[in-house]
A = this chain, B = another copy of it.
Amino acid sequence: MLRSDKLNKNPKLYIFLPLYYSLWADSELTTTEAEGMQQLIEKQLWLSAEEKKWLQSHLEPSKPPKPKELKSWKAIIQKLELEGLTDLYEIGKSLAQQHAGDTEISFEESLKEDFQQTELSLGLLSKEAKYNFKSGHETISTEYKKESNFDIKKMAALLDGNQAELIQKVKQVISQPSFAYREYDSLTEQREQVLTWCQELSKHGFGAWAFPDYAGGKNDMEGYFTIMETLSYHDLSMVIKFGVQFGLWGMSVYFLGTGKHHRNYLKDIGSLKLPGCFAMTETGHGSNVRGLETTATYDHKNKTFTIHTPNPDARKEYIGNAALHGQMATVFAKLIIDGEDYGVNAFIVPLRTTDGKMIPGVRIEDCGRKMGLNGVDNGVIYFDQVVIPKENMLDKYASVSEEGEFESSISSDNRRFFTMLGTLVGGRIGIPRSAISATKTGLTIAIRHGENRKQFGPEGGEEIPILNYRMHQRRLMPPLAEAYAIHFALKYLTQKFLDRTEAEAMEIEALAAGLKSYATWFATATLQECREACGGKGYLSENRIDALKNDTDVYTTFEGDNTVLMQLVAKNRLTEFRREFGDMNISTIFNFVVSQARTSFTEKNPIIVRSTATEHLLDFEFHLNAFRYRENSILSSAAQRLKRHIEQGMDSFDAFNVAQHHLVNVAQAYIERIVLEQFQKQVNETEDESCQMAIAQLCQLYALHTIEKNSAWYLEQGYMEGVKSKAIRKEVNQLCWEVRKNALALTDAFGIPESCISAPIAVKSI
Contact = CB atoms under 8 A, between A and B. Distances in A.
Contacts of A408: 66-67
A661 B532 contact: no
A625 interface: no
Contacts of A712: 711-712, 715, 725
A531 interface: yes
B369 A541 contact: yes
A39 to B, nearest CB: 9
Contacts of A660: 469-471, 474
A317 B661 contact: no
A653 interface: yes
Interface stretch (A96-104, A255-263, A411-419, A438-446): A411-419
A1 B562 CA distance: 42
B406 A68 contact: yes
A457 B652 CA distance: 11
B540 A370 contact: yes
Given A653-B139, A733-B661, A371 B549 contact: yes
A286 interface: yes
A652 B128 contact: yes
A531 B654 contact: no
Contacts of A265: none
Interface in A1-51: 24-28, 30, 32, 35-36
A563 interface: yes
A139 to B, nearest CB: 4
A540 to B, nearest CB: 6
A281 interface: yes
A139 B25 CA distance: 71
Contacts of A286: 455, 535-536
A585 B340 contact: no
A25 B67 contact: no
B368 A456 contact: no
A718 B721 CA distance: 10
A67 B653 contact: no
B474 A281 contact: no
Interface stretch (A116-124, A166-174, A294-302, A743-751): A116-124
Given A368-B542, A412-B25, A585-B120, A141 B67 contact: no
Contacts of A67: 342, 398, 406-408, 410-413, 416
A524 B711 CA distance: 25
Given A120-B586, A411-B64, A288 B541 contact: no
A123 B657 contact: no
B549 A536 contact: no
A186 B184 CA distance: 10
Interface string A510-531: 0000000000000010001001
Given A458-B651, A541-B368, A658-B470, A726 B722 contact: no
A587 B119 CA distance: 12
Interface residues of A, number: 129
Interface stretch (A156-164, A226-234, A266-274, A551-559): A551-559
A657 B518 CA distance: 32
A536 B367 CA distance: 11
Contacts of A368: 183, 540-542
B716 A411 contact: no
B70 A412 contact: yes
A411 B25 contact: yes
A657 B371 contact: no
A664 interface: yes
Contacts of A463: 288, 291
A203 interface: no
A582 interface: yes
A409 interface: yes
Interface centre among A30, A317, A458, A653 (most CB of B within 10 A): A653
Contact of A554 (B28, B139, B470, B539): B539
A27 to B, nearest CB: 6
B186 A185 contact: yes
A65 interface: yes
B583 A139 contact: no
A146 interface: no
Nearest to A343: B67
Nearest to A582: B32
A318 interface: yes
A180 interface: no
A287 interface: yes
Nearest to A711: B712
A652 B567 CA distance: 49
B287 A370 contact: no
A461 interface: yes
A80 B595 CA distance: 43
Contacts of A557: 532, 535-536, 538-539
A121 B536 contact: no
A461 B646 contact: no
Given A64-B409, A411-B65, A455 B556 contact: no
A665 to B, nearest CB: 11
A113 interface: no
Interface in A709-750: 711-712, 715-718, 722, 725-726, 733
A463 to B, nearest CB: 7
Interface string A560-584: 0111000100000001001100111
10 contacts: A25-B412, A30-B579, A66-B411, A367-B540, A371-B550, A458-B651, A471-B661, A532-B563, A536-B557, A712-B715
Q: Return the 9 tightest CB-CB contacts between A and B, nearest first.
A: A458-B653, A716-B722, A715-B715, A369-B541, A712-B712, A371-B546, A121-B585, A139-B651, A470-B660
Given A27-B412, A120-B586, 14 more contacts: A25-B412, A32-B582, A66-B411, A140-B650, A185-B185, A286-B455, A470-B660, A475-B563, A528-B528, A532-B561, A532-B562, A535-B561, A536-B558, A716-B722
Interface of A: 24-28, 30, 32, 35-36, 64-71, 117, 120-121, 123, 125, 128, 137, 139-142, 183, 185-186, 281, 285-288, 291, 317-318, 340, 342, 367-372, 398, 405-416, 455-459, 461, 463, 468-472, 474-475, 524, 528, 531-532, 535-536, 538-542, 545-546, 549-550, 553-554, 556-558, 561-563, 567, 575, 578-579, 582-587, 646, 650-654, 657-661, 664, 711-712, 715-718, 722, 725-726, 733
